[in-house]
Amino acid sequence: MKTLRIEETEPTGEQTIQLAEELGKNGVTVDSKSRELLAVAVAGSASGIRAEKGTMQAASPISPTFALMQNMIGIQRSANPPDLGGILEKIYAHGLSLHAGPVPGASERWMKAAKIRCDSDPLLNAMDRSVRAVTFGNRLNEEGPRLASPIADLPNTPFEWFRENWDLITSPVWVSALPARVWADWTMTVLRLGYALSFLWEAEWYMQLARNALDNKIVPWTMAVGEVRTIIPWASMDSSVSVRDVSSVLKWKVHRGAAVRKLLVDWQKAGEFLDMNFEESCRRLSQPDMTSKLQEALSTRKAHAPLVWEAIRYTLMTRENSGGNSDYYGMLRSSGRYLTVEPGTEWVTVVASLTCIQPDNEANVADLMQSFQKMGLSPELSDVIEMLERAGLARGSADADQGVRIQSAF
């Protein structure tokens, strides 16, 4: 019987003393009484967000070595976990224009950015080198560059939003402008949003295809993509919690989208769409033998993708509300059986600041609303201005509406 071996990578016990020695070799020196305390502080600085009531805590990827202290096998305690890195690479590639050629992929961009971060920060570089020597020795092999090629033309979607904002947050100007821990938190926020919103967009896309088939509505690809707009209902913040609850809507969007997707995959494997373009395939879907099954999928009450739904929910939800592991980068908040859109202050800061394109730059609320549109979000203007004021990013009078200026946080 095969067993799964989990290796702890956090320096503890004897390794703490070794870490203190390595820090000294790399130029971080303190008096002999404080050496071990320094090592404990360095090891603790890698602590990331922990889910409320969770038993595990992720490592914060503030440098290449800290990021490599964990993998999906260890996080999920599974021999065959989902290929999260591969999923994010595909999401990034879906955000590329079809006119673009192969470009550095999401992971390659992060690795280059993380190395820039280390090169410009002597303390972080010393920490990275020291932890690497103690935890991995000579056993660490980094993956080579990964390139991304365009997959489909999906403008004004979460895929495009993720690609644009990932390019920004991994660019030298943003890497240099942000403190190490802040940069790590901002990159994780972009990853969380890109991952969850792209899956929700996909679910809504399949549901829209099915609805069009039932209505015998045949539209070209670009128009069909444009029909998928709001993927997370964002009711006024003044509404009651029950009105703002999105739990049921999002859950059944995921399950019904998965049900439609399975039908399409099965039909494709059976050769139903062989040698057909998009519009011809849509006409085939409008035939009675298919519409009856599509109708069933759109009204299903069966959980077709429970793991996907849990992943989306966990990714978007605020992880912990208080204490040293508070998560201000979540978008959804759980209140008993309700799940409401209540972005944390730092979530607003990340999304709004990246809308400014460069550090110490400005944008306006109209630019931010366009960014929200790509994300599949349609908040009320008054709520957006209030969030910006609360985060200290709004400049000018609220009467200016979409003309209110946004000042980047860094």
DSSP state for residue 4 in the 8-state scheme: P
pLDDT of residue 399: 66
- Tokens 């993720």 correspond to what residue? 162
What is the three-class DSSP state of 407?
Answer: strand
**pLDDT per position as a tens digit, 205-261:** 999 999 999 999 999 999 999 999 999 999 999 999 999 999 999 999 999 999 999
User: Greatest CA separation found in the chain?
Assistant: 80
Whole-prediction pTM: 0.93
CB 119 within 8 A of CB 175: no
Q: Give me the residues of the chain with pLDDT under 50, please.
A: 1
β-partners of residue 407 are 362
pLDDT of residue 27: 92
pLDDT of residue 364: 95
pLDDT of residue 45: 82
Helices 345-355 + 180-214 axis angle, to 10: 80
Q: Cα angle at 195 between 335 and 246, to 5 degrees? A: 30
Q: Which amino acid appears at position 168 of this protein?
A: L
Q: Cβ of 98: how many Cβ atoms within 10 Å? A: 11
CB 130 within 8 A of CB 346: no
The C-alpha atoms of residue 24 and residue 127 are separated, in whole angstroms, by 10
pLDDT of residue 161: 98
pLDDT of residue 321: 57
Q: Which of 159, 156, 161 is nearest to 199 (CA)?
A: 159
pLDDT of residue 254: 98
| Residue 315, both tokens | 């990714």
| Residue 79, both tokens | 């021999």
Element (H, E) at 335: strand 332-335
pLDDT of residue 1: 42
The C-alpha atoms of residue 25 and residue 29 are separated, in whole angstroms, by 8
Phi/psi for 4 (5° steps) reads -100, 125
DSSP state for residue 406 in the 8-state scheme: E
pLDDT of residue 47: 78
The C-alpha atoms of residue 311 and residue 313 are separated, in whole angstroms, by 6
Dihedral of CA 297/301/305/311: which sign? positive
